[in-house]
Amino acid sequence: MVVSPTGSGKTVIMGNIAAEEDLPTAAIAHRQELVSQIALAFNREEIPHGIIAPESVRRDIIAAQMELHGRSHFSRSSHIRVIGVDKLRNHDKTDRWLGQVQRAYIDEGHHVLRDNKWGAAMAMFPNALGLFFTAHAVRADGAGLGRFQSDGTPGDGLVDRLVLGPSCRDLINRGYLTDYRIICPPSDVDMRGVEVGASGELNMRQTAERVHASRTIVGDVVKHYRKFAEGELGITFAVDVQACAQIAEEFNRQGIPAAIVTAKTPIAERASIMRRYRARQILQLVNVDVLGEGTDVPACTVVSMARPTASFQLCAQQFGRMLRILVSDDLNRLWHGFTDEQRLAYIAASTKPCGILIDHVGNIAIAGGAGRHGLVDRPRVYSLDRRERRKQDDAEPLRVCTNPECKPLPFQPYSAFLPECPRCHTPKPAPRARSSPAQVEGDLVELDPEVLRQLRGEVDRVMLAPKISQYGDPAVGGAIKRNHWERQQAQHTLRDAIATWAGWQNHLGRGDREAMSRFWHTFGTDVMTAQTYGAKDAAELEARIRAILSSNNVVKLT
């Protein structure tokens, strides 16, 4: 599995490998528009390729190739073929090509599990090695992507090895993607109580109901586009076709040319829409998910999120639509020969010095609380093992500055671990109550002093001798002493781990309040309550802390 960020050129990598190896190959996507994207990428690389699709779809793809590249490299006899996963599953099982295929490339490879339709599709190529491409090796449902788990037991997927490309932030810092700004205006979309299904995604019926219940979302999408990015090319992600129609109608009513793109938009019509979009005859593409995966539109500067999602993968794909750089063709041809500093300077001087994300639904951050996913370009640690779906994600929570005069833009998020906005120094909102560590998100400086005093007393009592009645059963007294001693030993090692973790945070330049807040969000408890744990809970928390320290190469010098 090749893991490389949105906008890093995964289809180009796929095409380069296919051209270099020149083996019988199947390139598989899960929607017709992505089949078209792969065929266009192969055509750009001048790779002869077949297209297994309905004749009308094939004609539309070839027409798009002619329009974009001046010629088509479609070949019915090529041993490299592009096909949709559903079309493949209904393909003639007697076709000799299936047995000849030596490479099976899968776009958006995080879809592949052994027992789903993707696994069934892979099984149709008995002599092929699989090469799966994805921006993030994660699934919302928590299923593992590996053929085996790290303990050697059978896994959920088919992957034997991860090959990690550069991170999104690396590509931004080196001038291969553009940097971005995030704006999170206030919203009346109330997502409290919306269920998360077995797939790990929000219940879409409930989600659509909450979005449609909003009195402001349609107007806000247009209003904030006009306020922060008027005249820029934008993509808006809506919750359903009805919302698409409402938002597009409002854009057009206010003189902003907008078009709707859905899964049912014919390829030829979609190609026409994209052509008019690149020519700036259309300024807004309003869609339901279909422009998240495999859409290469460097001209897009602004993304408006009006569709809540619990899927980090989907959120990251939508986020990535505005990260592609926009420079001239002449510069593009020379891009790899420039230094990082030169690339960054060209981007800064271009018509798209940065992308703009306007999050109306709390996918990244939300006024008054943490968003679902935090910054998409944050570092991630990937594993082929399955994980529990309810396990807390590693997203760093963000909060939105409440100062309408904050510069350079209002409604920008910042780390929820900080006690104030780092730009304008407006303090974070005061907690509604201060009677428990949970209410102050682990920032014990804000805890009620009496509650804090009691908590300190509990911490100190753990290390005192246990209270045993002199009149009690000696056997019971002995058990109490033994259990208390075990608790103390577990607490000694836990407190050592906490101290090492705190020292690491201090080394990173983080103050005590930020460190306490990070501890809370990372481990689900505060630093003082942890020091009242019994032996079993203390040992489990210590193991989690040590694992994070180890993964970051943090060691305590003695």
pLDDT digits (tens, 9 = 90+) for 302-320: 999 999 999 888 999 999 9
Between the CA of residue 339 and those of 13, 39, 247, 348, 353, what are the distances in Å?
Answer: 22, 32, 42, 14, 17
Q: Is the pLDDT of residue 391 over 80?
A: no
pLDDT digits (tens, 9 = 90+) for 45-57: 899 999 999 898 8
| Predicted pLDDT of residue 418 | 87
Counting Cα atoms < 13 Å in the Cβ hemisphere of 527 gives: 20
Regarding pTM above 0.95, the answer is no
**What integer best gives the mean pLDDT of the chain?**
90
Helix (H, G, I), strand (E, B) or coil at 530: helix
Assign 44 a pLDDT band (cuts: 50, 70, 90): confident
Cα 401 off chain centre by: 23
User: How far is residue 519's CA from residue 548's CA, in Å, rounded to a whole number?
Assistant: 11
| Predicted pLDDT of residue 179 | 95
| Predicted pLDDT of residue 438 | 85
pLDDT digits (tens, 9 = 90+) for 441-476: 888 888 888 888 898 898 888 888 877 766 667 777
| Predicted pLDDT of residue 394 | 60
| Predicted pLDDT of residue 390 | 44
Give the per-residue SS3 of 256-308: CCEEEECCCCCHHHHHHHHHHHHCCCCCEEEECCCCCCCCCCCCCCEEEECCC
Between the CA of residue 170 and those of 72, 108, 396, what are the distances in Å?
Answer: 35, 21, 18
User: How far is residue 438's CA from residue 529's CA, in Å, rounded to a whole number?
Assistant: 11
| Predicted pLDDT of residue 388 | 65
Which residue(s) pair with 415 in the sheet? 398
Cα 402 off chain centre by: 25
| Predicted pLDDT of residue 327 | 94
Contact 237, 292 (CB under 8 A): yes
Mean pLDDT of all residues in 244-256: 97
Which pair of structure tokens corresponds to residue 46?
A: 């001048």
Helix (H, G, I), strand (E, B) or coil at 237: strand
Domains of the chain: 2-166 (3.40.50.300), 169-370 (3.40.50.300), 437-551 (no CATH)
Q: Is the pLDDT of residue 428 over 90?
A: no
Assign 182 a pLDDT band (cuts: 50, 70, 90): very high
Which strand (E) or helix (H) includes residue 164?
strand 163-164
User: How far is residue 513's CA from residue 418's CA, in Å, rounded to a whole number?
Assistant: 8
DSSP string covering 360-393: SSSSSEETTEE-SS--TTS-----SS---TTSPP
User: How far is residue 24's CA from residue 104's CA, in Å, rounded to a whole number?
Assistant: 9
Contact 214, 306 (CB under 8 A): no
| Rounded (10°) angle between helices 32-44 and 267-278 | 60
Torsion 367-369-372-377 (CA) sign:
positive
| Predicted pLDDT of residue 535 | 92
Edge-to-edge strand order for the sheet containing 180-183?
Answer: 180-183, 355-359, 302-305, 234-237, 284-287, 258-261
| Predicted pLDDT of residue 395 | 66
pLDDT digits (tens, 9 = 90+) for 90-116: 899 999 999 999 999 998 999 999 999
Which strand (E) or helix (H) includes residue 81?
strand 80-84
Pairing label, strands 80-84, 50-52:
parallel
DSSP string covering 90-138: TS-TT-HHHHH--EEEETTGGG--TTSHHHHHHTT-TT-EEEEEES-S-
Mean pLDDT of all residues in 524-534: 92
| Predicted pLDDT of residue 285 | 97
| Rounded (10°) angle between helices 449-462 and 474-507 | 120
Phi-psi region of 425 (alpha: psi -120 to 50; beta: other; left: phi over 0): left
Give the per-residue SS3 of 22-80: CCCEEEEECCHHHHHHHHHHHHHCCCCEEEECCHHHHHHHHHHHHHHHCCCCECCCCCE
Mean pLDDT of all residues in 190-219: 92
Mean pLDDT of all residues in 539-549: 93
Which residue(s) pair with 131 in the sheet? 105
pLDDT digits (tens, 9 = 90+) for 339-376: 999 999 999 999 999 999 999 999 998 665 556 888 88
Torsion 184-187-189-193 (CA) sign:
positive
| Predicted pLDDT of residue 469 | 67
Percent of the chain whose pLDDT exceeds 70: 96
For residues 405 and 556, the model is more confident at: 405
The runs of H, that is alpha helices, within 320-448 are: 329-334, 340-348
**Cβ-proximal residues to 409 (8 Å cutoff; 6+ apart), any chain:** 181, 183, 228
Pairing label, strands 355-359, 302-305:
parallel
User: How far is residue 87's CA from residue 105's CA, in Å, rounded to a whole number?
Assistant: 15
**Cβ-proximal residues to 457 (8 Å cutoff; 6+ apart), any chain:** none
Q: Is the pLDDT of residue 329 over 70?
A: yes
Which pair of structure tokens corresponds to residue 350?
A: 């271009």
Mean pLDDT of all residues in 27-40: 86
Contact 411, 400 (CB under 8 A): yes
Q: Is the pLDDT of residue 208 over 90?
A: yes
| Predicted pLDDT of residue 261 | 92
Mean pLDDT of all residues in 326-330: 93
Contact 336, 324 (CB under 8 A): no
pLDDT digits (tens, 9 = 90+) for 112-161: 999 999 999 999 999 999 999 999 998 988 899 999 998 899 999 999 99
| Predicted pLDDT of residue 368 | 53
Range with the largest mean pLDDT of 418-422, 435-439, 534-538: 534-538
Between the CA of residue 416 and those of 47, 142, 369, 443, 446, what are the distances in Å?
Answer: 49, 26, 9, 11, 14
Range with the largest mean pLDDT of 2-16, 100-114, 395-409: 100-114
